[in-house]
Structure 1
Amino acid sequence: MLMRNALTALLLTVLAMPALAEQMMKFGHYEVHYQALPTTFLTPQIASTYQIERSRFRGLVNIAVLDSAQGKLAVPASLSGQARNLLGNVIDLTFREVREGNAIYYIATLPYSNEEMFRFNVDITPQGGQPFTLKFEHKFYVD
């Protein structure tokens, strides 16, 4: 029960922050909701529960894949990706799957410096679907 409450709190914390609005892109009948934010936005309890290093210099990428053909049902997927800063330095992203009831999302962390801009390329293959690549940019700030 504690794990379920912590997971729910993580989802609410990450998805309910108006200043860091979640973004969405469509790929056929799939909707990919994604967000990048500093790990300091997580409470210490949530960070500990999910073994996420909470730091002013660490970011969190959160991605969920929904199938709009099935009423926006969350679907399992395989994710791999990279973040490239403006100097061309590449960070490989290792995504972990998190499940809460019918919700499925994927999280990865990465280090950053103040005002560091990243271009993200995330290869996503939904279970039973065709692969596609999510591309987005995000600038991190040290708080």
Structure 2
Amino acid sequence: MTDAARRAAMALLVGLGLAGCGSGAPGPAGNHAQAQLEASARIGDVIVRVNAVPTASLGEAVARQYGIERSNRTIMLLVGVRRDDGNGNETALPARVAAVATDLLGKRQQPAMREVRSGEFIDYVGTASVIAPDTLRFDIDITVEGGPAMELHFNRDFFPDRP
């Protein structure tokens, strides 16, 4: 299979597999339940994990680690790119990550994705605005140094905090 065919197949599979992520109403925990949702994709031994969470639900230490200001109107997009050695061990991979977040009205934002290192791990972090309730569609392009290019597409619902 050619690289272009592999990328097209991966984009289709990921789009279909992740289309429903976050589509249900939050449970009793409210926005905290959304923090548990993670989208992931794999090409060969490369795994990409993506999460989008309201920054208000982040603990102070986590917000500080990622350099994020906590707010009810901001979400954090977190992307991790890892190589799986087949034995359950993962190694962080450098990558170029670009993202677009689009709300239900079609307003597009391009979160500036920046690299954050924590020990041996590398994450890519960006923020986008949201006025809940809303649904954001994320289109993420990941290019692994010396490896495959991937496109991930998924939706995430955001709800206002409930008392």
TM (norm. structure 2) is: 0.70
Q: How does 1:13-52 map to 2 (within 5 A)?
A: 20-52=36-68
Q: Distance in 2 between matches of 1:138 and 1:41?
A: 15
Q: Distance in 1 between matches of 2:49 and 2:33?
A: 15
Q: Distance in 2 between matches of 1:102 and 1:51?
A: 18
Which of 115, 119, 124 is 1:106 aligned to? 124
TM (norm. structure 1) is: 0.79
Question: More strand per residue: 1 or 2?
Answer: 1
Which of 109, 113, 120 is 1:91 aligned to? 109
- C-alpha spacing 1:43/1:88, structure 2 compared with 1 (3 Å): same
Relative contact order (C-alpha < 8 Å, sep 6+): which is higher? Answer: 2
Matched-pair contact (CA < 8 Å) for 1:57–1:142: no
Q: Which residue of 2 aligns with 1:130?
A: 148
Measured on the aligned residues, the alpha-carbon RMSD in Å equals: 1.9
Shift of 1:63: 0.7
Q: Distance in 2 between matches of 1:49 and 1:74?
A: 17
Q: Report the AA paired with residue 89 of structure 1.
A: K
Q: Percent identity?
A: 31
Shift of 1:72: 2.3
Name stretches of at least 5 consecutive residues in structure 1 with no aligned partner: 1-16
- C-alpha spacing 1:48/1:68, structure 2 compared with 1 (3 Å): closer
Count how many residue pairs are aligned between Structure 1 and Structure 2. Answer: 127
Rg (Cα) greater in structure: 2
Structure 1: which 4+ aligned runs deviate by more than 6 Å?
none
Q: After superposing the two structures, state which structure 1 stretch, 76-85 or 47-56, moved more.
A: 47-56
Name stretches of at least 5 consecutive residues in structure 2 with no aligned partner: 1-31
